[in-house]
């Protein structure tokens, strides 16, 4: 009965869809993502298998953060240090320098892992949570699969040499995204420049964060370095500037200096060659659609998620944004009812479709008003 209505408007912005970079990063494998849009801005063999080394500790931290969030673990809870954990503080590995029999809080263990990259702290936390490190590694792998890490297996909590502890830079990026999105209050710890452990039976030990990008004044605020002789140097990194975040992961850097320079190059490339544009802000009115037989003639609509697109600087493109629906939509309308589709089109190709939901209720008019509106439509064709 009713014709199909289209609300069409143009956004004059720069846009690049599935952008591939024209730079070269000196690493065996690397990836760069615009955090909010999810666009991949650079990739180099992103699904190549790697040994993640200490980047493994991101998942070790995530398991603890999830348990804290659910109320099953507390920061002030203390775990007793086993001989297995202590041995990793005496064998040349990165350490927090715990002692056998120490009772160390979860908060201190986590900061020992995140800032000091302590392998001993990893085992202490794993044993305290799961009983054994082996059981904890099963939890880690299960979580990895849950969040979409398809090519990852964790065999230990620290990332020390084990052929069964493997991942990819794409999976490490997914893991980093999960950490930042779900635990922003604890993610701040990854930017702390030093951690002081007031150890038992000795002077306090202060260690600096191993992430070189934190010292460059470029907006970097995480995440984790890694090194194994077989893998060479690796780094999961992130920077935020003016509300925009980029996440990069690289592995197979030949030297520490190369890791720092190439990771910086990758992040700065994303920052200076692309812009981020917000199309829609979640839970806020986006536009309106027409209503039939309602106490209001229109109803505002919104998207339940933020919608972002990454824009390549210097390339003017036009995006057509359509609101598509069969309407006007007959009242009554319930808040959050799906009413229309938001379609984003680039070069005559649809690149995104999103539900548009009713921002509020719209009640139906009384029978007299309905009759008058119907007569008006029959006579004048006016809704």
End-to-end CA distance of the chain: 12
- pLDDT per residue rounded down to tens, the chain (383 residues): 343 444 444 434 333 344 445 799 999 999 999 999 999 999 999 999 999 999 999 999 999 999 999 999 999 999 999 999 999 887 667 899 999 999 999 999 999 999 999 999 999 999 999 999 999 999 999 999 999 999 999 999 999 989 999 999 999 999 999 999 999 999 999 999 999 998 877 789 999 999 999 999 999 999 999 999 999 999 999 999 999 999 999 999 999 999 999 999 999 999 999 988 889 999 999 999 999 888 899 999 999 999 998 877 876 566 788 999 998 999 999 999 999 999 988 777 888 899 999 999 999 886 655 555 555 555 555 55
Give pLDDT, residue 380.
54
Burial of 8 (0-12, 13-18, 19+ CB in 10 A): exposed
Please answer whether residues 157 and 140 qualify as being in contact, where contact means their C-beta atoms are separated by less than 8 angstroms.
yes
Please list, in sequence order, all residues whose beta carbon lies within 8 angstroms of the beta carbon of residue 263, skipping any fewer than 6 positions away. Answer: 213, 235, 237, 248, 250, 253
Residue 327: what pLDDT? 80
- pLDDT at res. 310: 87
112 and 43 co-located in one domain: yes
C-alpha span between 86 and 98 (Å, rounded): 6
Same domain (yes/no): 81, 195 = yes
The active-site residue, picked from 117, 167, 234, 237, is: 117
pLDDT of the residue at 121: 96
> In this structure, what token pair is assigned to residue 274?
């692309």
Q: In this structure, what CATH number is given to the domain that contains residue 77?
A: 3.40.710.10
321 and 279 Cβ atoms separated by less than 8 Å: yes
What is the rounded CA–CA span in Å between residue 267 and residue 313? 15
What is the pLDDT, as a whole number, of residue 191?
97
Statement to judge: residues 81 and 160 lie in one domain: yes
Does the residue 273 lie in any domain?
no
What per-residue confidence (pLDDT) applies to 378? 55
Distance in angstroms (rounded) separating the CA atoms of residues 177 and 156: 21
**Does the annotation mark 57 as catalytic?**
yes
Specify whether 249 is located in the same domain as 291. no
**pLDDT value for 370:** 52
316 counts as catalytic: no
* 272 lies in some domain: no
State yes or no: is 54 an active-site residue.
yes
Same domain, 57 and 202: yes
Check residue 148 and give its pLDDT: 98
Decide if 266 is inside a domain: no
Q: Which residue spans within 198-336 are E strands per DSSP? A: 205-208, 220-228, 232-241, 244-253, 274-280, 287-292, 298-302, 307-312, 316-326, 329-330
Q: Which of 54, 95, 234, 237 is catalytic?
A: 54
Q: Which helix (H) or strand (E) holds 144?
A: helix 133-146
* Claim to verify: residue 336 and residue 191 sit in the same structural domain: no
**Looking at 37, 44, 57, 158, which residue is catalytic?**
57
Decide if 20 is inside a domain: no
Same-domain check for residues 203 and 285: no
Q: What is the pLDDT of residue 17?
A: 41
- Give pLDDT, residue 205: 92
Q: Work out the burial of residue 312: count CB atoms within 10 Å of its CB; fewer than 13 is exposed, 13-18 middle, 19 or more buried.
A: middle
| Residue 118, Cβ density class (10 Å: 0-12 exposed, 13-18 middle, ≥19 buried) | buried
In a shared domain, residues 288 and 144:
no
Based on the domain organization, do 148 and 113 belong to the same domain? yes
* CA–CA distance, 212 with 255 (Å, rounded to integer): 12
> DSSP label at 188?
G
Verify that 302 and 244 share a domain, yes or no.
no
> Whole domain around residue 60: which residue ranges?
29-253
Within a domain: 265: no
Which H or E run includes 373?
Answer: helix 367-380
Q: Is the pTM of this model over 0.85?
A: yes
Domain contains 18:
no
Q: What is the CATH number of the domain that holds 360?
A: 2.60.410.10
Report the distance separating Cα 223 and Cα 85, nearest Å.
24
User: Residue 267: inside a domain, yes or no?
Assistant: no
Residue 213 — φ and ψ, nearest 5°? -70, -20
Report yes or no on 295 lying in a domain: yes
8 in the same domain as 154: no
In the prediction, which pLDDT does 4 show?
41
Q: Cα separation of 92 and 88, whole Å?
A: 7
The torsion angles phi and psi of 244, rounded to 5 degrees, stand at -110, 135
User: For the chain, what is the domain count?
Assistant: 2
Residues 105 and 73 both lie in one domain: yes
- The number of beta carbons lying within 10 Å of the beta carbon of residue 254 is 13
Tell me the C-alpha distance between 224 and 205, whole Å.
21
């Amino acid at each position: 009965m009713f014709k199909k209505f289209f609300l069409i408007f143009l956004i004059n912005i720069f846009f690049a869809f599935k952008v591939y970079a024209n730079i070269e990063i000196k690493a065996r494998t690397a990836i760069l993502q615009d955090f909010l849009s999810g666009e991949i801005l650079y990739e180099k063999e992103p699904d190549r298998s790697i040994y993640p080394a200490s980047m493994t500790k991101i998942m070790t931290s995530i398991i603890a953060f999830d348990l804290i969030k659910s109320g099953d673990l507390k920061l002030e809870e203390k775990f007793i240090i086993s001989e297995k954990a202590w041995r990793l503080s005496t064998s040349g590995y990165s350490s927090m320098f715990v002692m056998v029999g120490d009772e160390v809080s979860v908060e201190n263990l986590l900061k020992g892992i995140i800032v000091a990259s302590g392998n001993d702290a990893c085992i202490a936390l794993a044993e305290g949570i799961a009983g054994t490190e082996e059981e904890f590694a099963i939890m880690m792998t299960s979580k990895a699969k849950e969040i979409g890490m398809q090519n990852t297996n964790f065999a230990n909590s620290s990332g020390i040499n084990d052929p069964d502890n493997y991942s990819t830079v794409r999976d490490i990026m997914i893991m980093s995204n999960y950490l930042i999105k779900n635990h922003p209050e604890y993610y701040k710890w990854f930017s702390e420049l030093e951690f002081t452990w007031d150890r038992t039976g000795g002077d306090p030990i202060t260690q600096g964060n191993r992430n070189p990008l934190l010292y460059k004044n470029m907006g970097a605020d995480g995440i984790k370095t890694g090194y194994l002789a077989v893998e060479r140097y690796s780094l999961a990194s992130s920077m935020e500037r003016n509300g925009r975040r980029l996440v990069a992961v690289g592995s197979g850097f030949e030297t520490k200096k190369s890791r720092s320079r190439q990771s910086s190059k990758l992040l700065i490339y994303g920052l200076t060659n692309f812009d981020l544009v917000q199309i829609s802000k979640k839970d806020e009115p986006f536009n309106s659609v027409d209503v039939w037989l309602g106490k209001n003639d229109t109803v505002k609509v919104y998207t339940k998620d933020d919608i972002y697109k990454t824009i390549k600087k210097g390339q003017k493109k036009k995006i057509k944004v359509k609101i598509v629906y069969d309407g006007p939509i007959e009242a009554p309308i319930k808040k959050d009812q799906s009413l229309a589709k938001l379609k984003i089109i680039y070069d005559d190709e649809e690149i995104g479709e999103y539900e548009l939901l009713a921002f509020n209720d719209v009640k139906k008019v009384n029978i007299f008003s309905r009759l008058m509106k119907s007569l008006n439509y029959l006579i004048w064709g006016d809704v």
